[in-house]
């Protein structure tokens, strides 16, 4: 099946909210997802989607601050997992980051091994833990620690040459 990756557009947010609700343990509400539309327009938030047959099957939402980017949510429809879409959508996001972005951060549940493997495959490394960061959910009925992960990017801006 042919996949198409592209930048997240505000018009995608309804489909993204449905996917978020279907795949995340503690999803953003529909209102929270829709509320980022104006911040996509200003460039503060950005993201990427991957489509199959015109349907959004995977997404990533991130926020930029100065030279940093924080990945806030990543998900792939259950039926489409394990086909490389998570990797594709993250690679698309990384390719869209502003030139001054030097570090990309994210947090992931210590129990989420598929996501951990995906991030490691893309060059993220664990830089710390945040104890009890995640509130209990139906699936994980206790507070859970977060792994803090980051990836350094090569600075794309031209460097000054010294004589």
Rule CB under 6 A: which residues touch ligand COA?
23-24, 74-76, 81-87, 108, 112-115, 117-118, 121
CA nearest 118: which of 94, 140, 143?
94
From the CB of 35, what's the least distance to ligand COA, in Å? 20
From the CB of 48, what's the least distance to ligand COA, in Å? 12
Q: Order the strands of the 3-7 sheet from edge to edge.
A: 3-7, 45-52, 55-65, 68-76, 103-109, 144-152, 125-134
Q: Which residues pair with 73 in a beta bridge?
A: 61
From the CB of 61, what's the least distance to ligand COA, in Å? 11
Residue nearest to ligand COA (CB): 86
The alpha carbon of 62 is separated from its chain's Cα centroid by a whole number of angstroms, namely 6
Q: Please give the angle made by the CA atoms of 65, 38 and 80, to the nearest 5 degrees.
A: 85
Nearer to ligand COA, 63 or 87 (CB): 87
From the CB of 49, what's the least distance to ligand COA, in Å? 13
Nearer to ligand COA, 64 or 83 (CB): 83
Nearer to ligand COA, 10 or 84 (CB): 84
**Tokens 């042919």 — which residue?**
2
For 100, the 3-state DSSP assignment is coil
Nearer to ligand COA, 38 or 82 (CB): 82
């Amino acid at each position: 099946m042919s996949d198409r990756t592209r930048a997240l557009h505000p018009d995608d947010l309804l489909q993204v909210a449905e996917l978020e609700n279907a795949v995340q343990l503690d999803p953003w509400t529909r209102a929270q997802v829709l509320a980022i539309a104006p911040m996509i327009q200003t460039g503060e938030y950005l993201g990427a989607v991957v489509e199959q047959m015109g349907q959004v099957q995977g997404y990533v939402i991130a926020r930029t601050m100065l030279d940093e980017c924080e990945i806030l949510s990543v998900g792939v429809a259950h039926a489409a997992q394990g086909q490389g879409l998570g990797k594709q959508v993250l690679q698309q996001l990384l390719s869209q980051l502003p030139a001054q972005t030097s570090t990309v951060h994210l947090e992931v549940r210590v129990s989420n091994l598929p996501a951990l493997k995906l991030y490691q495959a893309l060059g993220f490394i664990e830089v710390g833990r945040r104890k009890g960061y995640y509130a209990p959910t139906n699936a994980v009925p206790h507070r859970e620690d977060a792994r803090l992960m980051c990836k350094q990017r090569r600075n794309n801006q031209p460097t000054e040459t010294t004589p």
